[in-house]
Amino acid sequence: RQNESLTKDKDLLETSLEYSILNEVKQNNHNIPYTFTGTVAKVDINGFSKVISAGDSVQSHNLTLFLEDFGCELLQRYNGLFEKTVGDEIIVIFKSEDSAQMATAFARDLMTEFGKLKFSIAGEQRSFTLKGAISSSALTFSKRAPGYGFHGDSLTYSSRLLDMVTEKDRNFLSCMKTEGEKIESLVQLPTESRKFEFKNMASAQGYLIDQFVPVEVAYETKPALLKYYRSDSAFIYLLEKIQEENNIKTIDQVINLLRQVKVRKCSHTLISEWIYALKTMETKGRLDYEFLVILSKLIMVGINLVPQSQWDDTCTQALLTINRQLDGRINASIVDCMMEKSLYAVTLENEASFIIKDDHSFRTRGNLLINQAYHHLDNSVFSKVLNMIESPNPLEVSTGLFCACSIILHYQKVNPAALETYAAYRKVTKILRKLQNDVTLSARLKDLIDSVITQIDRTERLAELS
């Protein structure tokens, strides 16, 4: 029954159009209605009405399909909260301290990437420009008769701001003057603002922006702004640059950005560039150990950067062909990445080759044990975990605890009933409960144990109710 309930809940979330907002409410325990300060971004296609008037239903459908496809992908990359497409207009809401910058980056990338596409219109291949608008205010998420929705001043203002864009020969972003001051690090503001005469609303000063700071300039002069560049073309550029770069701090900054972004769909060129970067760092690592550390981190980038649906044998072989005698942390990262891509059997086949003599970090051994558990859980797995936890070596103990938590959280998510069939599982959970208040544990490990105990208690309560 617990497994059936889990599956239904997962299906409900994954098939909901408002997944990101539901996730926000669920993760942060917000009550509904829920009010926050955020930024609305609206983008629509110039010339779309003419396509409709010409009766070209196939291309009008393609235009909106690609707009939504690009928009949903960028929404995820920029941590947007909500997306809705109405005809040729896409509406996105951002909630963060830098929501105006995130909204600007979203609109810029959507306009740029969409503008590269060609559509067959009246027998000719043509591209389309877009117009966008951003506006910030208090926004309220609430339940309505047909479902859920938002209301707030910025929803109205963003529509009025779109109307201020009349030129269609290039992309424009429209915003209030106060908004322009928030985003000036990402754009080239016009020398002077202009007066916007809004329909049925008071006039205001604003900007029509058609120049944006390119990723090349951000990389060279404003690296702190790189988090606002998350398109495929930006990621490809950054991967190319770190292969030429010798400054470890700069490379780390790029890799940290790439590890934070969850990609749902990407170009084959981006995947290829990640693979090229792996080879480059391996070559550099033979001469400088610091690049082996970078290689270990870059392997982990593949978890987020390469979508599960696009991971193929080329990606797998890119990992398996890396020299496994270079450094233990590299092997640990390979196993970690392979697990995330559900390549449990492939990892097991190569298990012995991942163990390096005198590698005392235990991370690789721990990851291999987790991989074994994910592939097939049995009592021997928990016995090995217990052996690690009871080791006199503090590093091995920490690894054992991490393994225990990872395995339990995984099965609590996919098949909680499976855990209850093993006697050693109960012994492991008793140890975790005893260690909850152990001050010698690292903050990360303590948080992980707390998460496990919370999840176990929740599952047990559900079992009692059923």
42, 143: one domain: yes
Cβ-contact 255, 298 below 8 angstroms: yes
Cβ-contact 102, 80 below 8 angstroms: yes
207, 222: one domain: no
140, 258: one domain: no
Q: Rounded to 5, what percent of the chain is helix, strand, coil?
A: 60, 15, 25
pLDDT for the residue numbered 18: 53
* Token duo for residue 245: 């770069």
* Token duo for residue 283: 């070559």
Q: What is this structure's pTM? A: 0.87
Range of the domain at 55: 2-213
The CATH code of the domain that includes 119 is 3.30.70.1230
* Token duo for residue 414: 């996919």
168, 259: one domain: no
Model confidence over 170-181: pLDDT tens digits?
999 999 999 999
Stretches where the chain sits below pLDDT 70 are 1-31, 144-147, 466
**Domain final residue, candidates 161, 195, 213:** 213
pLDDT for the residue numbered 30: 62
Q: At what angle do helices 289-305 and 248-260 cross, to 10 degrees?
A: 20
305, 202: one domain: no
201, 261: one domain: no
185, 277: one domain: no
**Domain final residue, candidates 213, 239, 265:** 213
pLDDT for the residue numbered 199: 86
pLDDT for the residue numbered 17: 39
Contacts of 428 (CB under 8 A, 6+ apart): 382, 385, 386, 389, 404, 408
**Domain final residue, candidates 213, 245, 277:** 213
CA atoms 370, 374, 380, 382: torsion sign: positive
230, 198: one domain: no
pLDDT for the residue numbered 22: 59
Structural domains of the chain, count: 2
pLDDT for the residue numbered 146: 62
207, 307: one domain: no
110, 228: one domain: no
pLDDT for the residue numbered 24: 64
Dihedrals φ, ψ of 442, to 5°? -70, 155
The CATH code of the domain that includes 259 is 1.25.10
Q: Name the helix (H) or strand (E) containing 121.
A: strand 119-121
pLDDT for the residue numbered 19: 52
97, 152: one domain: yes
226, 202: one domain: no
pLDDT for the residue numbered 340: 94
